[in-house]
Chain A
Amino acid sequence: MSVESAGRPLEAKVVFYNDPRIRSLFFQLVLLALIVALFWFAYDNTVANLKKRNIAQGFGFWNVEAGFDISQTLISYSAASSYGRAFWVGLLNTLLVSGVSIVLATLLGVMIGILRLSKNWLVAKLATVYVEIFRNVPLLLILYFWYRGVLGLLPEPRDSIKLPGNIILNTRGLMMPMPVVSEAFIYPLTALVLMVVTAIGIILWAGRVQDRTGIRPKVGWLTAGLIIVVPAIVFIMAGAPLSFDIPVQGRFNASGGMTLAPEFVSLVTGLTTYTAAFIAENVRAGILAISKGQTEASQSLGLSHGQTIRLVIMPQALRVIVPLLNSEYLSLTKNSSLGVSIGYPDLVSVFTGTVLNQTGQAVEMVSVTMLVYLTLSLLTSAFMNWFNRRVALVER
């Protein structure tokens, strides 16, 4: 006795509180009201209780002088800067370590994922061993391994390893000459940008010629020459406006130049090696999802093994891989907060660690930090969804 079977709609005869639509609307509203009430109650209760316990509240601390130092700062910061500034320093450090690790983990992960499917028995087994080791060991241990086990073995400053090009390597990090540019550097820089744009234009033109005639003009040497030679000539004509700040060995350690701190290197290496193992599995899954017929077809067209992977398999496999990659990137960004255990000054270490402890305002700090990670995750997801749609559109 379905509604459709009756000649006229039945709902007219039903009392309003038995109407399924009104009912469901009513319960939705009740649910919404309850959720709002719950959150309001939690908020109100927190505020009242903090007040009762004489615990400071609000964001008045934001502009107060921080009074502590941070080992790695991408923006200028000193002990005289504010807690708010310390927040940005921590956030940028988190973004830096996550960004670098995501790029490296993707490269390493794709490589190992492909190697794991290699026909070479030894290579395939080595890739398998890599995946199983790094996937099954807790990330914290991997971080300790790189920080204490590997980088901790570097010599002390007075026995530094001196590499050619004024590079110094010791337990305090890798110290390199820092390029110092004068104002005239803008000319070779502009030349470089112009030449890169020109080169891209030439490559696009070559692509169009290939589409039309089937023969691709050889432009490799021309573009490379433009990008290297022209800016080099401008550089020399501008009077070589570039010098280097060279690290000099002092009483305790080298000073000057720029330093790649062992905390940063350990964290990037740890996150990269750990996440790459997961990405490798995603890549393997993506490739195995493509039917073998695709490989056979491309081989019968005369494509080489490399071309088969690059032009036939990977574009299709990406559709499987990209959604999986998204969650790996989210995990990696959140996992970067483990850096506190090896002294890397990320957001959690600086803000939820030191600032929280100096101000004692745990509720504010933790809320802000959660909001930051939520925002980062949503942005990453949004980007990956956009990328996923782009990859999906390639479908023919």
Chain B
Amino acid sequence: MKKFIAAAVVAAASFGLVSAASAGTLDNVKAKGQVVCGANPGTAGFGVPDQKGNWTGLDVDYCRAIAAAIFNDPTKVKFVPLSSKDRFTALASGEVDVLIRNSTWTMSRETTLGVIWAGINFYDGQGFMVNKKLNVKSAKELAGATICVQQGTTTELNLADFFRSNKLEYKVVTLGTSEEAVKAYDSGRCDAYTTDRSGLAADRLSMSKPDDHVILPEIISKEPLGPLVRQGDDQWLNLVKWVHYALLTAEEDGITSKNVDEKLKSDDPEIKRVLGNEGKFGESLGLSNAWVVQIVKGVGNYEEIFERNVGPNTPIQLTRASNALWSKGGLQYAPPIR
């Protein structure tokens, strides 16, 4: 009896604590000494741990860039592997500080999940992969096909939309994780596998015979992927947003991890502002004024991150396309640092 009352009091007290613990995320992160980053455990090029447990990928490098901006040390990140089903709950409940896990920015997610996107670090679109021997040239030929899809994604909805709007019949097999969906497709359970085209490029490599599979030309949706945070903490939102813009600005200004020390001597007022020799842009974010120097030294600029993880010289072999800078015909555009 007494034990129960004690337990009830403790439980009530801890409920109270939960509601109180929503102070600034940046302060929490600084106190913890690390950024807790929700990451994709299974998409090569975007987020995947290697055999030694080192995380690599474009999204992973964004987590490191945030850590570099705050701590001047890109390794101060704790990666939490999340499936697409669990990711938003993990962010909303405070389990992770930021979610960078090729997550599509949609209206319903931002209006009902209590989350907010900080930017678009990869412009993507959904596509289909099929086995070459089926001799399919277009997604519109997939009438009657069985299609494997991962659960808990915009992909599931786009797939239904595509077949509904083209008035085609199909059968769906929905699996819990992307690994299971890829495995089911590879074992012949489905004629086609669908996900974001960046994901298709990565997943093709995990097939038993990658060369047997082709990615169809159709792009059936807009998939703007980017980092997101909880609503209600504008300081933290700003920080994540401007880390992304800093990576783009560094590329635009030709600042790379190799030449950043040289660029520090530059007289160009724009570069002086970006690298913190003029103004107090870092301090206004709650960081040091050398924040961009720390980011670029830690992970490089956007171009370096892209080329290292998904570029033409990697197994994923993606070109910049929509992800080129606006000045080079792409969509990546950063507001000025001034």
Q: Write the residues of chain A forming the contact surface with B, with a CB cutoff of 8 angstroms.
A: 27, 31, 34-35, 37-38, 41-42, 45, 48-50, 52-56, 67-71, 79-80, 148, 152, 156, 171-172, 250-253, 255, 262-263, 340-343, 345, 349, 353-354, 356-362
Within 8 A of A (CB), among B20-45: 22
CB distance from B146 to the nearest CB of A (A): 6
Asked if B144 and A172 make an inter-chain contact with CB atoms under 8 angstroms apart, the answer reads no
CB distance from B45 to the nearest CB of A (A): 23
Q: Write the residues of chain B forming the contact surface with A, with a CB cutoff of 8 angstroms.
A: 1, 4-5, 8, 11-12, 15-16, 18-19, 22, 84-85, 88-89, 92, 108-109, 111-114, 134, 141-146, 148, 151-153, 156-157, 159-161, 163-164, 169-176, 180, 183-184, 187-189, 191, 230-232
Asked if A250 and B157 make an inter-chain contact with CB atoms under 8 angstroms apart, the answer reads no
- Cβ of A341: which chain B residues have Cβ within 8 Å of it? 175-176, 180
- Residue of B at shortest CB range from A61? B112
- Cβ of B172: which chain A residues have Cβ within 8 Å of it? 69-71
Asked if B180 and A354 make an inter-chain contact with CB atoms under 8 angstroms apart, the answer reads no
The residue from B88, B134, B170, B184 contacting A360, defined by CB atoms under 8 A apart? B88
Asked if B160 and A67 make an inter-chain contact with CB atoms under 8 angstroms apart, the answer reads yes
- Cβ of A56: which chain B residues have Cβ within 8 Å of it? 111-113
- Cβ of A360: which chain B residues have Cβ within 8 Å of it? 88-89, 92, 109, 112-114
- Residue of B at shortest CB range from A80? B164
- Residue of B at shortest CB range from A170? B188
Asked if B174 and A54 make an inter-chain contact with CB atoms under 8 angstroms apart, the answer reads no
Asked if A31 and B144 make an inter-chain contact with CB atoms under 8 angstroms apart, the answer reads no
Asked if B151 and A353 make an inter-chain contact with CB atoms under 8 angstroms apart, the answer reads yes
The residue from B134, B174, B180 contacting A252, defined by CB atoms under 8 A apart? B134
CB distance from B20 to the nearest CB of A (A): 10
Give 18 A-B pairs besides A55-B112, A343-B175 with Cβ atoms closer than 8 angstroms.
A38-B12, A45-B15, A53-B230, A55-B92, A56-B113, A68-B174, A71-B171, A79-B160, A148-B187, A152-B189, A251-B141, A255-B169, A343-B176, A343-B184, A353-B152, A354-B174, A361-B112, A362-B89
Asked if A54 and B231 make an inter-chain contact with CB atoms under 8 angstroms apart, the answer reads yes
- Cβ of A255: which chain B residues have Cβ within 8 Å of it? 144, 169
- Cβ of A53: which chain B residues have Cβ within 8 Å of it? 92, 114, 230-232
Asked if A252 and B145 make an inter-chain contact with CB atoms under 8 angstroms apart, the answer reads yes
- Cβ of A54: which chain B residues have Cβ within 8 Å of it? 114, 231-232
The residue from A31, A41, A342, A359 contacting B12, defined by CB atoms under 8 A apart? A41
In the bound complex, how far is the Cα of B5 from the Cα of A53, in angstroms? 31
CB distance from A81 to the nearest CB of B (A): 11
Asked if A171 and B191 make an inter-chain contact with CB atoms under 8 angstroms apart, the answer reads no
Asked if A31 and B1 make an inter-chain contact with CB atoms under 8 angstroms apart, the answer reads yes
In the bound complex, how far is the Cα of B175 from the Cα of A345, in angstroms? 9
CB distance from A152 to the nearest CB of B (A): 5
Asked if A349 and B176 make an inter-chain contact with CB atoms under 8 angstroms apart, the answer reads yes
The residue from B11, B18, B183 contacting A49, defined by CB atoms under 8 A apart? B18
Asked if B144 and A353 make an inter-chain contact with CB atoms under 8 angstroms apart, the answer reads no
Asked if A27 and B1 make an inter-chain contact with CB atoms under 8 angstroms apart, the answer reads yes
If the complex has contacts A53-B230, A252-B134, are A171 and B144 also in contact, measured as CB distance less than 8 A?
no
- Cβ of B92: which chain A residues have Cβ within 8 Å of it? 53, 55, 360
- Cβ of A171: which chain B residues have Cβ within 8 Å of it? 187-189
The residue from B15, B148, B187 contacting A41, defined by CB atoms under 8 A apart? B15
- Cβ of B191: which chain A residues have Cβ within 8 Å of it? 252-253
- Cβ of A42: which chain B residues have Cβ within 8 Å of it? 15
Asked if B89 and A71 make an inter-chain contact with CB atoms under 8 angstroms apart, the answer reads no
Pairs across A and B, CB under 8 Å, 20 listed = A34-B5, A37-B12, A38-B8, A45-B18, A53-B230, A69-B170, A70-B172, A79-B160, A152-B187, A253-B144, A253-B191, A262-B189, A340-B176, A343-B148, A343-B176, A343-B180, A353-B85, A357-B153, A358-B152, A359-B112
- Cβ of B170: which chain A residues have Cβ within 8 Å of it? 69
In the bound complex, how far is the Cα of B172 from the Cα of A345, in angstroms? 10
The 10 closest A-B pairs by CB, nearest first: A357-B152, A79-B160, A56-B112, A55-B114, A360-B113, A53-B114, A54-B114, A252-B145, A68-B156, A69-B172
- Residue of B at shortest CB range from A262? B189
In the bound complex, how far is the Cα of B14 from the Cα of A38, in angstroms? 12
- Cβ of A71: which chain B residues have Cβ within 8 Å of it? 171-174
CB distance from B149 to the nearest CB of A (A): 9
The residue from A79, A343, A356 contacting B164, defined by CB atoms under 8 A apart? A79
Asked if A70 and B174 make an inter-chain contact with CB atoms under 8 angstroms apart, the answer reads yes
If the complex has contacts A55-B114, A357-B84, are A67 and B230 also in contact, measured as CB distance less than 8 A?
no
- Cβ of A45: which chain B residues have Cβ within 8 Å of it? 15-16, 18-19
Asked if A349 and B1 make an inter-chain contact with CB atoms under 8 angstroms apart, the answer reads no
CB distance from B41 to the nearest CB of A (A): 16
- Cβ of A343: which chain B residues have Cβ within 8 Å of it? 148, 173-176, 180, 184, 189
In the bound complex, how far is the Cα of B137 from the Cα of A146, in angstroms? 34
Asked if A252 and B146 make an inter-chain contact with CB atoms under 8 angstroms apart, the answer reads yes
- Residue of A at shortest CB range from B187? A152
In the bound complex, how far is the Cα of B186 from the Cα of A148, in angstroms? 11
Asked if B85 and A357 make an inter-chain contact with CB atoms under 8 angstroms apart, the answer reads yes
- Residue of B at shortest CB range from A64? B108
